[in-house]
Amino acid sequence: MTAPKHCTLIQALFAAPPEKPFITEWNDEDDIRAVTFGESIRLAKLQAAEFLAQGLLAGDRIILIMPQGIPLMTAFAGAMMLGAVPAILAYPNFKADPDKYAAGLAGVTQNLKARFVIVDEEFPTELSTRIAMADGARLVPSPIPSLGSAEPSLPALSLEPHGLAFIQHSAGTTGLQKGVALSHGAVLTQLHHLATALNVGDQDRIYSWLPLYHDMGLIACFMLPLAYHVPIVMQSPIAWVVRPGVMLQLISAFHCTLAWLPNFAFQFLARRVRAEDRGSYDLSSLRSLVNCSEPVRAQSIDEFLSTYEICGLPSDVVKTSYAMAENVFAITQSPVDGAPRRIWVDGQQLWNDGRVVPVTDKADKSICFVSSGRCIDGNQARIVCADGTNLPEDRVGEIMIRSDSLFGGYYNRPDLTAQAFQDDWYWSGDLGFFHDGELYVIGRKKDLIIVAGKNIYPQDIEEIVWNHPAIHDGRAVAFGLYNPDLGTEDILVVAEVEQEEQLKDSVEIERAIRNAIVAELDVSPRAIYLKPPRWVVKSTAGKPARSTTREKLLAEYPELNRD
Amino acid sequence: MNEQAQQIIGYILKEVVRRPSVEIHEDTPLVSSGLIDSLELVNILVKLEDVTHMRIPAAKVQPKDMDTVNLMFATAQRLGRPRK
């Protein structure tokens, strides 16, 4: 196994050929911005000089809340140049509730003990004036440096491989997010293994719409291009959602070779791009589209491939990967030559006994799983039962991982860190099995809901529901249900009203609950079922039992079961 | 309510919201109330283009510009170009 060529991300960036294209940012047909590696280094240095003048020091945590694009990316690199530790948070959208947003940000600044929160000039004033931050933190509007400014001289700093490079956030609502602190060494080690597994080379160009506050966007589509000098063509997530066909135009025009997408995106692209536009795309340049960050569904892949076959899309272009922020990114990657393997197993034996019994694809109650591939270099995974004892191949259990890029712990949260590890193995919380040496991920151990690649804890939704005065405190259950039309999960909520007669106001109650969930979590439940008292099934401990309540609801509404 | 607004509301109720208890008027908040998800905007935008006979540059459209039916038509007026 070879080692990464550079000791820090900044050293890797400085080694880039200055004239090579780095970031192409598509905002609209008449608004495309592009910078070379040389220009982006210059912009990052200008940002660094600005931060330095504001008093940012090596080791300081700095939170960046800016729209997706070149200024955010160069501010991130600029902060790293000073040895400061940047963390990107989601830019608030118009649905955010100002009070909740402010409280969430206060929680993050407190947890990271951040000294600066950098926002762009268009950051909503109704939010910036209400932000209450932890002691010592300052809100600073970011001036965007222009390329014409003279290149500043920065103090000579020797960054160390074991020094913190940045913090990326794992699942959770804003205030409770777990910060995963990563060193330059860990990130470069992961990128080295990933680049080797994907055979990343000079001919590559990455396309991305992925948010940079998420590991798939930050690591695969920003840090990998930065350290391996791969040009990247990007849009914002919202630009992609409103007109997904532009992604295919950009891949055609820029001859992109690599992209990462969550599972739902494959189905979204197959169904939401106008059929009459498809003839104009040439997707033959693509060599790997990696399906990652939510459970992989064969149906979504097949629908995508058959829709875009006419555009020259290679039939084995979709690859798979199992990845998580705690490991910097990937643990497994399916081979670059060929399609990931599939297995059909007996559904009854799988769900009842946790046994993987292969059957034919036509067998009654067979379930298809798509392999996430083998562990990449430096990474190990094993399947265990609840006490951490190893399970053999073809048995379902929790996936534990160990690697040479695994994080050391959640930032400032020794309590959460202690729960997450057994010796040097990390409890992933995901369920899966090994078959012929390849990992198949089948879902979450805990009831985490994954909507379009975004992780949502059901308890975050349930708490919002309880807060409505008409809902019996503690008597609400939220869960995810796979929607085959979308290729991702829908959120369903069931809640008890305090008094049965309140059900006559259910339209109004439902509207208020829906508003509150959207304002706080930026997700919309597919349906909210209001029920009379004592409907929600309780566990022996008197708490709502999610799985049995879910079964009860699905039995009452069989039309919900479409998988 | 004019005919174009009726067409859009009918489409949203039938194809997107699909819940009989829901009523929508021209100024009912849709995205911010969670009645529709931003993933649905692509189809609504296509419908809006069909109804108004305009081509609307999607990259300039923010979800807040599509939050009510009235805002949708204002957005079409502001950004749209007649279809060729």
CB contact under 8 A, B33 and A274: no
Residue A410 Cα distances to A76, A185, A419, A420, A497, angstroms: 20, 17, 11, 9, 38
A241 vs B38, B60, B64: nearest CB: B38
Q: Which of B21, B28, B39 to mutate to test the interface with A (most CBs of A within 10 A)?
A: B39
Q: What is the pLDDT of residue A146?
A: 66
Res. A551: pLDDT tops 80: yes
Q: How confident is the model at residue B63 (pLDDT cuts 50, 70, 90)?
A: confident
Q: Which domains does chain B have, with CATH numbers?
A: 3-82 (1.10.1200.10)
pTM of the model: 0.88
A449-560 belongs to CATH 3.30.300.30: yes
Q: Per residue in A435-457, pLDDT tens?
A: 999 999 988 777 788 888 777 88
- Complex ipTM tops 0.85: no
Res. A494: pLDDT tops 90: yes
Q: What is the pLDDT of residue A170?
A: 74
Domain ranges for chain A, please list them.
Answer: 9-153+160-242, 342-444, 449-560
Q: What is the pLDDT of residue A147?
A: 64
From first CA to last CA, the distance across chain B in angstroms is 28
Q: What is the pLDDT of residue B26?
A: 94
CB contact under 8 A, B41 and A525: no
Among 3.30.460.80, 3.90.1170.50, 2.30.38.10, 1.10.3080.10, what is the CATH number of A342-444? 2.30.38.10
Proportion of chain A above pLDDT 70, given as a percent:
95
Residue A524 Cα distances to A481, A519, B1, B11, B41, angstroms: 13, 9, 28, 19, 13
Residue (of A263, A264, A256) closest to A233 by Cα position: A256
Q: How confident is the model at residue A134 (pLDDT cuts 50, 70, 90)?
A: low
Q: Of A71-85, A92-106, A263-277, where does the model show the most confidence?
A: A71-85
CB contact under 8 A, B59 and A527: no
Res. A563: pLDDT tops 70: no
Q: Per residue in A165-224, pLDDT tens?
A: 999 987 555 445 789 999 999 999 999 999 999 999 999 999 999 999 999 999 999 999
Please tell me the distance from the alpha carbon of residue A253 to that of residue A258, in angstroms, as a whole number.
14
pLDDT, averaged across chain A: 90
Q: Give how far the C-alpha of residue A40 lies from the chain's centroid of Cα atoms, to the nearest Å.
A: 25
Q: Which residues of A touch B (CB under 8 A)?
A: 26-29, 31, 93-95, 235, 238-239, 241-244, 246, 268, 272, 274, 452, 486, 506-507, 511, 514-515, 517-519, 523-525, 527
- Residue in A closest to B21 by C-alpha: A507
Q: What is the pLDDT of residue A457?
A: 80
Q: How confident is the model at residue A148 (pLDDT cuts 50, 70, 90)?
A: low
Q: What is the pLDDT of residue A458?
A: 87
CB contact under 8 A, A246 and B64: no
CB contact under 8 A, B45 and A507: no
Q: Per residue in A280-291, pLDDT tens?
A: 999 999 999 999
Q: What is the pLDDT of residue A562?
A: 63
Residue (of A183, A180, A424, A499) closest to A323 by Cα position: A180
Q: What architecture is domain A9-153+160-242?
A: 3-Layer(aba) Sandwich (3.40)
A27 vs B31, B33, B59: nearest CB: B59
Residue A98 Cα distances to A92, A132, A382, A455, B64, angstroms: 9, 11, 43, 22, 15
- Residue in B closest to A486 by C-alpha: B39
Q: Of A9-18, A466-475, A492-501, A505-514, where does the model show the most confidence?
A: A9-18
Q: Which of A243, A276, A454 to mutate to test the interface with B (most CBs of B within 10 A)?
A: A243
Q: Which of B48, B60, B67 to mutate to test the interface with A (most CBs of A within 10 A)?
A: B60
Q: Are A247 and A269 contacting, i.e. CB atoms less than 8 angstroms apart?
A: yes
- A517's tokens: 């969930």
CB contact under 8 A, A242 and B67: no
DSSP secondary structure string for all residues of A360-415: -TTSTTEEEEE---EEPTTEEEEEE-TTS-B--TTB-EEEEEEETT----BTT-HH
